[in-house]
Structure 1
Amino acid sequence: MFATKYRVAGITALAIAASVSLAGCTINMPGSTSDSNGMMDGGMMGNNQNSSGFSGSDIMFAQMMIPHHQQAVDMSTLAETHTTNPELLALAKQIKDAQAPEIEQMTGWINNANASMDMGHDMGMGGMLSDSDMAALAAANGPAFDKLYLEGMIGHHEGALDMAQMVIDSNNAEAKTLGENIVKSQTAEIAQMKKMLAGM
């Protein structure tokens, strides 16, 4: 199942990503310069906040979660034409309605911090479907689609729960709240999807 195959090492990998790879999401403010400690004058890394109010970890979370959310939106868009299952269609709409606005919200963080949208790697992006998995989902219809969608989205959501740990303790209230909302909503959706899958 996708849930097993594509889930990464979770919180440990995220801790490594935050400590070792933050150079990929350094917040570059206009006129900033690096000092001998690798810190930016006008743009901070790690948990230090810059004038945008978002730390390097907050921005790194957004850089990873935006493409992660986008894939969930893409999967749910496929559901609109590949299944007639009313419960799955309602679930797919719920996922799109929640995650599309969150993509816009996190894009705003990145723009406000004058950071890059591309962090340069995908470490910690657990549960992402491969291109071949997405192709298989797009080629399926009816009950076969439903099974692939549920298996894939369960793993996808589980990856998001791990990623959300990056901002659960954020000093930024908006980042912290988003992380908490992702954990709450996607934990409930995982339970619903597992029930649906068991009933197939």
Structure 2
Amino acid sequence: MRMRAFTNRATRTSALLGAVAATGLLLTACGAEDAAPSASATAAAPGAAASRAPAPGSFNDADVMFAQMMIPHHEQALEMAELARGRAEDAGVKKLVAAIERAQDPEIRRMRAWLKGWDRPESAGHAGGHGSGHGMAGMMSEQDMKDLAGARGEEFDRAFAELMIAHHEGAVTMAEEERRNGLDPAARKLADDVVRPQSAEITELRKILDRL
């Protein structure tokens, strides 16, 4: 009886050890399977990040020129908008000033990021500074900016409207050229975003002039 009991215990122990070993092998296999997707996902991450970066050949000279010219053009519009503080009187002018500031500052940041991603300088060296008016349609001269700064109330509103119409018309001209000749989808989209609202603002500015 003692021998049979010992044999039974040995058989149960052997079976238990076998089950433990099988479980260990199963867990090891599962662990390997779980690790595989993780390694794959880690390997895929750099590729996903690279897909968001500007790809070589995804832009052309027209895109670069558009950004290089539109940055100082937008900057001058923001300078004109800043002059409206404490000088503008017309509610329509004040509303357009707020719209210009809201739209154009973020657009400047985007264009600077593109030029950096494209490894191109922010300035092409042809603009001659914000107030020169050379090389870019609609840019104000230094004298235009001084005259605007010296105006107040209705005089300022009228001068601002007249100058901003010319400024917006210049921006629309450059944006339409980008839509015709540009390659980069984001730059072409920004050109659309310049043409539509600034064309509408030109219409509003003309209405303001009519009532002043």
In the superposition, the TM-score normalised over structure 1's length comes to: 0.72
Indicate the structure (1 or 2) with the bigger Cα radius of gyration.
Answer: 2
Q: Of the two structures, which has the highest relative contact order with CA contacts closer than 8 Å and spacing of 6 or more?
A: 1
The count of corresponding residues between Structure 1 and Structure 2 is 152
Q: Is the 8 A contact 2:62 2:183 kept in 1?
A: no
Deviates more, 1:120-129 or 1:53-62: 120-129
Q: Percent identity?
A: 39
Name the residue aligned to 2:51.
none
Q: Is the 8 A contact 1:62 1:110 kept in 2?
A: yes
Q: Is the 8 A contact 2:126 2:135 kept in 1?
A: no
Q: Are positions 1:85 and 2:90 aligned together?
A: yes
Q: Is the 8 A contact 2:137 2:167 kept in 1?
A: yes
* SS at 1:80 equivalent: coil
Q: Are positions 1:73 and 2:84 aligned together?
A: no
Q: Is the 8 A contact 1:52 1:112 kept in 2?
A: no
Say what the alpha-carbon RMSD is for the aligned residues. Answer: 1.6
Give the structure with the larger helix fraction: 2
1:24-35 equivalent positions in 2, closer than 5 A: none
Q: Is the 8 A contact 1:124 1:163 kept in 2?
A: no
Q: Is the 8 A contact 1:58 1:166 kept in 2?
A: no
Q: Take 1:198 and 1:168, find their aligned partners in 2: how far apart are those partners?
A: 32
1:1-200 equivalent positions in 2, closer than 5 A: 51=56, 53-122=58-127, 124-169=135-180, 170-200=182-212
Aligned partner of 2:142: which letter? D
Name stretches of at least 5 consecutive residues in structure 1 with no aligned partner: 1-48
**Deviation sequence 1:107-159 (CA, Å, 0-9, x none):** 11111111111111136411111001100101111001001100000000001
In the superposition, the TM-score normalised over structure 2's length comes to: 0.68
Name stretches of at least 5 consecutive residues in structure 2 with no aligned partner: 1-53, 128-133
